[in-house]
Amino acid sequence: MSTVDVLTDQSMVVLQDRPIVPLSAWLAEALADCAESGRTLQLVTPLDSRVSLPLRAAAAGSGMQWVVRDVNGYYEGLTGRPLRWSGGTFVPVPDARDYAPGFTTRPSAPIGAQLSLTYRIRYGAEGDLGGAVDRLLKLLTGTAPTGWGPAEPLAHTWRPDLLTEYARGRNGARLFIVGDGPRPAQAICEFSGTGGGAIAEVGTATVGYSPEDPPPVQHLPSLVGALAGEQPILSLFAQLIPGRSDLTTEPRWTGAPGPLAMAVSGTVAGPAGLPGQQVGPTRGPLTFFPLGDGRSPEGWQRHRMLMQHLRTAHASV
């Protein structure tokens, strides 16, 4: 069980000295308390700690700060920005012009690639939720998910009916799903009501690959088509993220993510120089747009061009 180490009008500071810090039920509750009170949750760890994928995702969506303590002082674990204690909260060092030294040290394990697929889907007022993440993890790992829950460790074995009961019984829910198979696989699914009992889901499935085991990016069109054949996907975005194959995050620079592809529902014409291909069933297809190899920055230029084209086309309808 954790405790609050420092509580001020600006922040709630929690010290964690452990190899891997998960999104425990206590930390999830602390994040909710901070959101209600207007404070920032600042999680302070030593340099050799890592955070789990669910905790990193929760931090990105809530404004939580991961503060890393090393011999040179403090810095932000996800950005490398030097920090100092102001008396009420950790704030950026005003005259810092570079990353903190700890952020630029060599990672403690080989850096592989994390294949990340983010999809959007809508469910009606009836029926089970979780079909998209179930199918996607089966396609990525060869087996069904093994568990789910709102915090770590995941409290429930994989039962879409129980997940549905949990998510439909709330105004919104963020749930974590763990996959099975030879590689680490996890998914984060956010469910929200859209009126009339309908549910919108934004899910991200991530699979970790070691440097000797590159992700099968060449099979993305067929994978996305197979997913669309069973689930009415609205859109899907695929990217590669440099990182540990176990899906934990060190407070060190490991490289920038890069886009692989984007798919959108329907038969859609792309901008000049960026053709798409139809994947999935004849009825309810997706248009698949390759964007890059997941490593070169030109992929983000194609992504911006495609998004601008899609927004313009949508506005003219």
Task: Give the chain as a DSSP string.
Answer: ----SEE-SSEEEEE--SSEE--BHHHHHHHHHHHHHT-EEEEEEETT-EE-HHHHHHHHHHT-EEEEEETTEEEETTT--EEEE-SSSEEE-TT--S--GGGGSPPSS--EEEEEEEEEEEE-SSS-S-HHHHHHHHHHHSS---EEESSBS--EES-HHHHHHHHHTSSEEEEEEE--SSS-EEEEEEEEEEETTEEEEEEEEEEEE-TTS---GGGHHHHHHHHHTTS-EEEEEEEEEEE-TT--B-SS-----EEEEEEEES-----TT---EEES-SSS-EEEEE---SSSTHHHHHHHHHHHHHHHHHHT-
| pLDDT value at residue 59 | 82
**Residues belonging to the chain:** 317
Render pLDDT for 33-69 as a digit per residue (tens, 0 to 9): 999 999 999 999 999 999 999 999 988 877 799 999 9
CB environment 174-209: b (16+ within 10 A), e (fewer)? bbbbbbbeebbbbbbbbbebeeeeebebbbbbbbbb
Task: Give one word for 114, left, alpha or beta, with left for phi > 0 and alpha for psi -120 to 50.
Answer: beta
Instruction: Compare 3 and 64 and report the one with higher pLDDT.
Output: 64
CB 30 within 8 A of CB 54: no
| pLDDT value at residue 316 | 57
Q: Of all residues in the chain, what percent carry a pLDDT higher than 90?
A: 85
The average pLDDT across 200-219 equals 96
| pLDDT value at residue 2 | 63
Mean residue pLDDT across the chain = 93
Domains recognised in the chain with CATH numbers? 6-104 (3.100.10), 113-315 (no CATH)
For the entire predicted model, the pTM comes to 0.94
d(CA 159, CA 184): 20
The average pLDDT across 157-176 equals 95
The average pLDDT across 111-128 equals 95
Residue of 136, 135, 132, 162 lying closest to 147 (CA atoms): 162
Render pLDDT for 235-266 as a digit per residue (tens, 0 to 9): 999 999 999 999 999 999 999 999 999 999 99
CB environment 4-33: b (16+ within 10 A), e (fewer)? eeeeeebbbbbbbeeeebbbbbebbebbee
pLDDT over 60 at 1, yes or no: no
The alpha carbon of residue 278 and the mean position of all alpha carbons in its chain are separated, in whole angstroms, by 26
d(CA 31, CA 38): 10
The average pLDDT across 290-310 equals 94
How sure is the predictor about 302, in pLDDT bands with cuts at 50, 70 and 90?
A: very high
pLDDT over 70 at 11, yes or no: yes
Phi then psi for residue 94, to 5 deg, are -65, -30
The average pLDDT across 226-240 equals 93
d(CA 310, CA 317): 11
| pLDDT value at residue 99 | 96
d(CA 84, CA 308): 40
Phi then psi for residue 282, to 5 deg, are -60, -40
How sure is the predictor about 314, in pLDDT bands with cuts at 50, 70 and 90?
A: low
How sure is the predictor about 310, in pLDDT bands with cuts at 50, 70 and 90?
A: very high
| pLDDT value at residue 288 | 96
Q: Which amino acid is at 109?
A: A
How sure is the predictor about 219, in pLDDT bands with cuts at 50, 70 and 90?
A: very high
d(CA 219, CA 212): 18
CB 189 within 8 A of CB 175: yes
